[in-house]
């Protein structure tokens, strides 16, 4: 299991959220299991829970994201996972170029558990939908709080002027190739 403390982008501070920790459980041969714990979530805005369908623009409100880039490659994938259960995945041939919806045969699953002072978001992505190679990884979150306040959280922010989760310098974590079953 990997744990990563996310930090807010300095140009977009949160209202009440005090910390976000992302955990990756990579010991399951069939699913990549992820968990984000949002501390200070009393003013967190959660989209209404709906059907598990693909949707665009999820990052405009509270959304959790995973970026994977196979070692040695320029291309990468982006997974957007919403507390609404909606999701999307995109492939890029290089930094912000050649964006296309990723072909996904089996959708990810997610659930949210709001609490009085923290919220936990769980997601599981089928391993069959992920690269079959070691990857560089970036984990992030877009957090909307009351009044429309948006903060951008990542393991690392290479640019203090504007958040950019696609920046190659954000890919600071690693994900091993899936175990052979």
Domains identified in the chain and CATH numbers: 2-95+106-175 (2.60.40.1190)
Beta-bridged to residue 31, according to DSSP, are: 126
Q: Average per-residue pLDDT in the chain?
A: 94
Separation between Cα atoms, residue 140 and residue 1, nearest integer Å: 17
The residue-averaged pLDDT of 51-73 equals 96
* pLDDT(181) > 60: no
Q: What are phi and psi of 157, to 5 degrees?
A: -120, 110
For 72, the 3-state DSSP assignment is: coil
pLDDT reported for residue 179 = 62
Question: Is residue 143 a contact partner of residue 121, using CB atoms and an 8 Å limit?
Answer: no
- Indicate the pLDDT class of residue 28, thresholds 50, 70 and 90: confident
- pLDDT reading at 180 higher than 90: no
User: Is pTM beyond 0.75 here?
Assistant: yes
| Average pLDDT of span 43-60 | 95
Report pLDDT digits (tens) over 103-157. 999 999 999 999 889 999 999 999 999 998 999 999 999 999 999 999 999 999 9
Tokens of 1: 């299991």
Task: Name the burial class of residue 6, with classes exposed (0-12), middle (13-18) and buried (19+) by CB atoms within 10 angstroms of its CB.
Answer: buried
Spell out a b/e string for 108-146, using b for 16 or more CB atoms within 10 Å of the CB, else e. Answer: bbbebeeeeebbbbbbbbebebbbeeebbbbbbbbbbbe
How crowded is the C-beta side of 95, counted as CA atoms within 13 Å?
8
How much is the pLDDT for 84? Answer: 97
What is the per-residue pLDDT across 77-111, written as a single tens digit (0 to 9) for each?
A: 999 999 999 999 999 999 999 999 999 999 999 99
16: exposed, middle or buried (C-beta count within 10 Å: 0-12, 13-18, 19+)? Answer: middle
139 within 8 A of 155, measured Cβ to Cβ: yes
Give the CA dihedral 159, 145, 108, 54, nearest 10 degrees: -90
Confidence (pLDDT) at 123: 97
What's the rounded Cα separation, in Å, for the pair 48 and 61? 11
Q: Report the C-alpha gap between 53 and 78 in whole angstroms.
A: 16
Pairwise CA distance, residues 101 & 141, whole Å = 20
């Amino acid at each position: 299991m990997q744990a990563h403390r996310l930090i807010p982008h300095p140009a977009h501070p949160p209202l009440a959220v005090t910390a976000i920790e992302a955990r990756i459980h990579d010991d399951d041969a069939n699913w990549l299991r992820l968990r984000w714990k949002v501390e200070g979530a009393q003013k967190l805005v959660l989209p209404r829970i709906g059907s598990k369908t693909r949707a665009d623009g999820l990052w405009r409100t509270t959304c959790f994201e995973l970026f994977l880039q196979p070692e040695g490659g320029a291309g990468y994938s982006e997974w957007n996972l919403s507390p609404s259960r909606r999701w999307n995945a995109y492939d890029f041939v290089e930094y912000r170029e050649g964006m296309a919806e990723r072909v996904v045969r089996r959708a990810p699953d997610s659930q949210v558990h709001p609490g009085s002072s923290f919220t936990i978001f769980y997601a599981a992505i089928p391993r069959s939908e992920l690269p079959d190679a070691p990857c560089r990884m970036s984990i992030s979150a877009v957090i909307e709080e009351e009044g429309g306040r948006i903060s951008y959280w990542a393991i690392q922010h290479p640019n203090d002027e504007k958040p950019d989760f696609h920046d190659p310098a954000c890919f600071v974590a690693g994900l091993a190739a899936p175990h052979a079953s």
